[in-house]
Chains A and B, each alone.
Chain A
């Protein structure tokens, strides 16, 4: 009996942990539940927890009022295309910084590493001027442009490629591979896990990027999901039903990414965190 009690006492920390976890999840549960409630039910005091009679009206409202599918496509394009660019530039630059020597290599790497600490807000004004001079305001190219390189990605890939043994690369060279062939046949296949972690990160980052699309787009055709949602919010008075329906729809892609790729995300953070 005493032993039993002691065992429970030793696990006391589960209580606050569980409470905290519930707070973390509650907001999302509440969002999904609210999305299925009628207007009367949303404003009912005391509130119901589960929708008494779940309705899809809020989703219909969203569909009728804003081009939500357009926003989905725009966000997907911005996040997807920028991810492809980041993967290509990071893989090449990471390989070269890890395995080749060239003049000023270390200085250049330190400069690139330094820019990981400079947030976008610190250079968005000149960036805007540049993009507007290039005539790219309110275009996809304009939205994606700051996202096509990632100093974090280059750093991550350099750390990973450095762990690939030189002997493997030399063996490929002896077999007659060109340097590009070494990159393609040795480095890339051995970098799959790091590249997939990087892909998830940059997709999430591209999808959540807010301040730049807000500044650079001004037509609903080019709004990404996040900007479209804020516009939706600003246009109408408090109508939490449709708003929560729109929010629920908007989080589905990242929610799916998280549910299915959680292990990769956490292990990706382990790769990047470990080397700091």
Chain B
């Protein structure tokens, strides 16, 4: 980089030189921060995944891909991978679909629009920890409001968090509730960017509601939908906080039933200090998310323009 900029230096003068000087003075500290706080740690994860790296033990041998072959036969990891995938598929598909429907309904500015926006976006703004605690209280088998309402309408109560088969789905319901508003607002942004003229022209040609959606709204929303699907997948594959809160303390969900990848990584890395092994798990998680994102790009067939 410096060789090339030195070349520049000789050829340019005056204002151009002052501008380049400013740009380089500004960008170098920022790039250094970036290098230390992002790039090096990301590569560090790949590096550590090839080592047996215990925080306390000074002997940290290079073991090649041994961590990865251990992951293949790790029962907890397999459970976590299955649960997280299950969680992500359900949360992403339901919340993205509902968010699109909501955005379509809210697109027209109505008198109640602002209130709806407020209500649906509120869970997005409130952090996951308090939200998980509220839901834990509402899910309580004996005193929780949800079971009391169920009993009131004649249904039998459900062990929302205590029943191993149900616990993951309870966390899924809560997570959909939490992220719905975020994807809704993103869809609204996409919808409001579609020029009104397109619709007008199509209406003159006699297109009806469904045709308008199929031929104008949906194709022009493709980019935004792709973006939402990618961030939703990344976000949900990294689910941690709600699982952490709902499985600790009393009246909590059984860990085995809701074990997820980041929890597994957290435990291996920061409870047992097996940081090499935990890093290998991160690499697997990273690879899965990358592959899914690439599939999205293929499915949505977006040409770079």
Contacts and interface: CB of A to CB of B under 8 A. Distances in A.
A126 B279 contact: yes
B190 A121 contact: no
B126 A125 contact: no
A211 B145 contact: no
B143 A273 contact: no
B38 A250 contact: no
Contacts of B125: 204, 254-255, 257-258, 265
A17 interface: yes
Nearest to B242: A210
B42 A122 contact: yes
Interface in A162-190: 173, 178-180
The size bracket of the interface on A is: 35 or more
Nearest to B190: A273
B223 A179 contact: no
Interface stretch (A50-58, A98-106, A191-199): A98-106
A25 B122 contact: yes
A45 B148 contact: yes
B129 A179 contact: no
Interface stretch (B64-72, B74-82, B133-141): B133-141
B41 A130 contact: yes
Interface stretch (B16-24, B163-171, B200-208): B16-24
B211 interface: no
Given A46-B152, A273-B186, A274-B189, A31 B41 contact: no
A21 B286 contact: no
Interface of B: 1, 4-5, 8, 15, 18-24, 26-27, 30-31, 33-34, 36-42, 44-45, 47-48, 55, 102, 105-106, 112, 115-123, 125-131, 133-135, 137-138, 140, 143, 145, 148, 152, 177, 180-181, 185-186, 189-190, 192-193, 223-224, 227, 230-231, 234-235, 238, 240-241, 244-245, 248-251, 262, 265-266, 269-270, 275, 278-279, 282, 285-286, 293
Among all A-B residue pairs, the 4 with the closest Cβ atoms: A126-B44, A208-B127, A179-B22, A123-B41
Interface of A: 13-14, 17-18, 20-25, 27-28, 30-31, 34, 42-43, 45-47, 89, 92-93, 95-96, 100-104, 108, 111-112, 115, 117-119, 121-130, 132, 145-146, 148-149, 151, 154, 173, 178-180, 204, 207-208, 210-211, 214-215, 226, 229-230, 233-234, 237-238, 240, 243-244, 247, 250-251, 254-255, 257-258, 262, 265-266, 269-270, 273-274, 276
